[in-house]
Structure 1
Amino acid sequence: MDIKNSHNLVFSEEDFSGILKALSRVQAVIVFDLEGNILTANENFLGALGYQLSEIKGKHHRIFCEYSYSSTPEYVEFWKRLARGEFEAGEYKRLSKEGKEVWINASYNPIFDDEGNIKRIVKFATDITASKLKNADFEGKIKAISKAQAMIEFELDGTIIDANENFLSAMGYQLEEIKGKHHRIFCDPTYVTSSEYQKFWNKLGNGDFEAGEYKRFSKNGDEIWINASYNPILDASGKPFKVVKFATDITETKIKNADFEGQLNAIDKSQAVIEFTPDGTILKANKNFLATVGYSIDEIKGQHHRIFCEPEYTRSSDYRDFWIKLANGEFDTGEYKRIGKGGKEVWINASYNPIYNHNGEVYKVVKYATDLTKEKEAYNNLVETFENAAIELLASSSQISSVAEEMTADAKITLEVSTNASASSRQVASGVQNVSTSTEELSASITELAKSSSEASKCSSEAKEMTLEASENISELGKASEDIGNVIKVISSMLSRQIYSL
C-alpha cells in the first residue's frame, strides 16, 4: 500500500514505518484520540515526563498541563482545531509527574485514513527544558543589564539598530532620532575621520571585542564619558552579525577623578611622597622623596621603613606601636628625624595617611613629607649662637660687675678728696675776706675761686649719685671722676698762688 502526503510524495508502507521508527528513536512521541485521550507513548516521552505508560494510558492530555491553562476556553479551542485536522506547532510548557516544568518543542499532527477522515493525533516533541532555562537565564541577565546599564545595538558597519531607555536618557535622544544613523553622531568629528576610528569598526566587524573608557557627545553637545564594552554577536555558524554595546555613564566620576588626579599631581610635584603596605614595606616613592633620602627606587622598593630610622628607635615599642596604629587606620603627623643613604641626618615634617579599600580595610599607607633638614640645621645653629652669646654675656657681666665695684671704691675716694677740697676752699674764702688790701687781681682770683668751689661742690653731688648708679652708668662715672680730678688740680693750684701772694 502506498501512502501520499500533502506534497504528493509517494511512500510505501514500509518506508513510512521506517520513518516513524526513526522519529521514535530521536523524539518523544505520544498518540491521542481526537478528544485528547492518551492512546500510547514511546520511551522518550515517558522518560521526559517521568511516567510509566500504564499511568497515563486512557487519561487526558490535561494531566500534563497547569490547571490555569487546561481550564480555559483557549485549551478547549486548541483540541477543537486539532479535531478539525488543523496542524499545531510551537514551544509548550508542560508538567512532569513530579510537577516540574518541562519545556518541549512539539508538533501536533492530525493523522488521516484513506478516506480523509481524522483518526488520531500524533505529537512529536523534543525536550528543550535545558536550552529554555539557559535562554531564560540569558534573557533575564540581558533584561537586568538593560535596567542597570545603557545598551545600544549596531549593524557591523556601525548603523544603529536599537537602544534602551538608559542609553537614550544619557545621550538626550529619542530612539527615532538615532535609529538608522551611524555611531559617528556620538563622536568628535576629528575622531570619526581618523584611521583609528575606521580600524575600530573593522575590528568589531571581524568579531573582535572592544572595551574601555570613551568620550562621547550628547545631543546638546555635552561631553559624556562612558565605560563601555562593544560585543560582536555571533550567529549559529560563528559569524558576527551585529554589535551590542553595554555602557555606564562615568562622567561625574571622571570629573572627580580628574580633580583628584590634578591635586595629587600638584602634591607630587611639591612634596616628598612614599607608599607602604600596612606593615611598613615600601611600595613606591616619588622623585622628591628619593632626592631627600638619597636613594634610588630600586634600592628601597620591597624594603621596610626601618631603613630610614635609627636602629635604637626601630627596636623600641614606640616604633612597633607606630605601625600598629597606622595598620588600624590611625593618622599620624609631626616632625620626624630620619636617616638617609650614607647615614645622613634628615628632618621631615610628615603625615602618615592610612588608605582604605572598598571593604573599609586599610590596604596601604601614604606619607606626604616636606624636607626640613636645612631649616632644622639653621635653627640648631641659631640656638648654638644664642647659647654662646649667653655664655659670653655672663662672663662680661662678671667683668662689668668687678669694674663697677672698683669704680665705686674710686668714687668714694674721689668723694673724700672733693669734700676736703670744699673745706679748703671755704678756708681760703674766709682768709680772703680778712684781707683788706686786695687788688683787682686778687678780687678776680677770689671770684674764680668761688666759681671753682661751686663746680667742685656740684661735681661732688654728681659723684654721690653716680656711685649709686655705677653698674648702669660706668662711662659717665669715669668721665665725672676725671672732671673732679681736674677741678681738684685747679683748686690746689689756685690755693698755692693765693697763699703765696698773701
Structure 2
Amino acid sequence: MNTPHLTAASFAAIDASLMLVEIDFDGTIRSVNDCFLAHFESRREEVLGQPYRHFCSSIRADEVGVDGVLARLAAGEPVMRTFEHVGPQARTTWMALSMLPVKDALGHASHVLILARDVTEAKTQSVENQCKLDAISRSHGIIEFDLSGNILDANETFLKLTGYRLDEIRGQHHRLFVDSEEQRSPEYRQFWQRLGRGETASGEYLRFGRNGRRLWIQASYNPILSPDGQPAKVIKYCSDITESKLKGSRPR
C-alpha cells in the first residue's frame, strides 16, 4: 500500500509560513530557512554552526532544561515546548517549537527538525490576563459550583471571609451559606435553575459563615460555558459589604 506524501507545494507553503531549523543532537544548527533568518535579522553564514541555545534566553534555557530536551529528541521522542528567545536588539520573543527527530535510512534518529512560530503576542496576553485574575483573586472571594450548586473550589479570600477551610466545604451545597427559610423557598430553587440555564445573577446577598456569622456580600454569579457552548459550572465573585450594610450605607 502506497503512503501519500506531502507535495512540493505543501512543503513550500510550510517553508513560507513557519520558521524551520535543523539541528544536530548537540544543538548545533545545520540549516535554517528564510523565515528564521528574517525573524532574527540574521544572515545564514552567521547562524550555521552556532548552538541553537544562542537564540534562547540563557535563564529560560536553564529553567526548561535544553540539554534534557535534546536527550529526549536523541531517543527519538518528539518534543513540543514554548521557549523564550532573544530576538534582534535583545528583544524578548516567545517561540512555540515542534521539535521532531528525523530518522535516517536505517530508522535511527539522525538530527532534529524544528518548526517554530512566534507566539509572543499570545504569551504576553496570557501573562497579562493571569495578572488580572491574580489581582481579582486577591481582592475578591471566588468560589466555583457545579450546576446543581455543589462547591467545587474556592480561593483563600473567600475562605477567610467565611471562616471555613476548603476541605470543609468542597462537595457541600451552596445552601451551607444560606439560612433555612431561604433554602426552602421557591425563589432559591429558581435561582439555581436560572444559573443552570446559563443566566447570570448579581446583587447584595445575606450569607452565613462559620458558626452562623452573618455576612453581607456584593456578588455576581457567572455561568461558565463549555467548548460546545453549554453551561458547565458557575463562578461567584464576591466582596464583603457587611460593615457598610450595618452602618446603613450602600457600598460605593
TM-score range, shorter chain: 0.7 to 0.9
Amino acid at match of 1:89: M
Question: What letter corresponds to residue 3 of structure 2 in structure 1?
Answer: F
Match of residue 145 from structure 1: 136
CA positional deviation for 1:163:
0.6
Taking structure 1 as reference, are residues 243 and 73 closer, same or farther at Cα in structure 2, changes over 3 Å only?
Answer: closer
170, 178, 184: which is aligned to 1:187?
Answer: 178
Partner of 2:153: 162
Alpha-carbon shift at residue 70 of structure 1 (Å): 4.2
Q: 2: CA distance between counterparts of 1:237 and 1:26? A: 30
Match for residue 98 of structure 2?
A: 107
Equivalent position of 1:88 in the other structure: 79
Aligned positions, number: 251
Q: Is the 8 A contact 1:69 1:75 kept in 2?
A: no
Deviation at 1:153, TM superposition (A): 1.2
Counterpart CA distance in 1 for 2:18 and 2:145 is 38
Q: Tell me the SS of whatever aligns to 2:107.
A: coil
SS at match of 1:196: helix
Instruction: Sort the Cα spacing of 1:71 and 1:138 in 2 relative to 1 into closer, same or farther, 3 A.
Output: closer
Per-residue CA distance 1:208-258 (angstroms, 9 max, x = gap): 222211110112112110011112223444433222211111111110026
Report the TM-score when normalising by structure 2: 0.87
Distance, in Å, in 1 between the alignment partners of 2:184 and 2:35 is 60
- SS of the equivalent of 1:211 reads strand
Q: What letter matches 2:87 in structure 1?
A: S
Find 2:203's aligned residue among 212, 217, 220. Answer: 212
Alignment partner of 1:11 is 2:9: no
Q: 1:207 to 1:115 in 2, by over 3 A?
A: same
Post-superposition offset of 1:47? 4.3
The one-letter amino acid paired with 1:129 is T
Q: Residues 130, 208 of structure 1: CA spacing in aligned structure 2 closer, same or farther, 3 A cutoff? A: farther
More strand by share: 2
CA displacement at 1:186 relative to structure 2 = 0.7
Aligned pair in 2 of structure 1 residues 44, 192: CA closer, same or farther (>3 Å)? farther
1-side partners of 2:150 and 2:40: how far apart? 46
Query: Quick check: 1:244 aligned with 2:235?
Result: yes
Q: What root-mean-square deviation, in Å, do the aligned CA atoms of Structure 1 and Structure 2 show?
A: 2.6
Gap runs ≥5 in structure 1: 1-8, 262-357, 359-502
What is the TM-score when the length of structure 1 is the normalising length? 0.46
Contact 1:49 1:102 in 2 (8 A): no
Residue 247 (structure 2) aligns with:
256
Q: Tell me if structure 1 keeps the 8 A contact 2:56–2:83.
A: no
Give, as a single letter, the amino acid of the residue that structure 1 aligns with 2:190: K
**Structure 2 unaligned regions, length at least 5:** none
- Alpha-carbon spacing, 1:249–1:69, altered in 2? closer, same or farther (3 Å): closer
Please show how residues 163-312 of structure 1 align to structure 2 within 5 Å: 163-257=154-248
Q: Displacement of 1:136 after TM fit? A: 1.2
Shift of 1:63: 1.6
Query: 1:22: how far off?
Result: 4.4
Distance 1:236 1:70, change over 3 A: same
- Relative to its length, the structure with more helix (as a share) is 1
Q: Report if aligned partners of 2:60, 2:84 keep a CA contact under 8 Å in 1.
A: no
C-alpha change, 1:70 and 1:130, in structure 2 (3 Å) is: closer
For residues 227 and 25 of structure 1, do their structure 2 counterparts lie closer, same or farther at Cα, with a shift above 3 Å needed?
Answer: same
1:36 aligns with 2:55: no
Matched residue type, 2:114: K
**CA deviations over 1:113-149 (Å, ceiling 9, x no partner):** 1201222201123322222211211111111111111
- Match for 2:133: what amino acid? I
Aligned residue identity for 1:57: L
AA of the residue aligned to 1:24 = D
The structure with the largest alpha-carbon Rg is 1
Q: Distance in 1 between matches of 2:158 and 2:140?
A: 8
Distance 2:44 2:185 in 1: 69
Q: Does the CA-based 8 Å contact 1:35-1:83 persist in structure 2?
A: no
**Hey, what's the Cα distance between the residues in 2 that align with 1:90 and 1:236?**
24
Alpha-carbon distance between aligned partners in 2 of 1:57 and 1:255, rounded to the nearest angstrom: 72
Whether the aligned pair in 1 keeps the contact of 2:60 and 2:83 (CA below 8 Å) is no
**Deviations, residues 174-228 of structure 1 (Å, cap 9, x unaligned):** 1011101111111122222223222222332233222211110112112110011
* Other-structure match for 1:76: 67
Counterpart contact for 2:203–2:220, Cα < 8 Å? yes
Describe the superposition over 1:369-398 as per-residue Cα deviations: whole angstroms up to 9, x where unpaired.
xxxxxxxxxxxxxxxxxxxxxxxxxxxxxx
CA deviation vs aligned residue, 1:286-331 (integer Å, no higher than 9, x gap)? xxxxxxxxxxxxxxxxxxxxxxxxxxxxxxxxxxxxxxxxxxxxxx
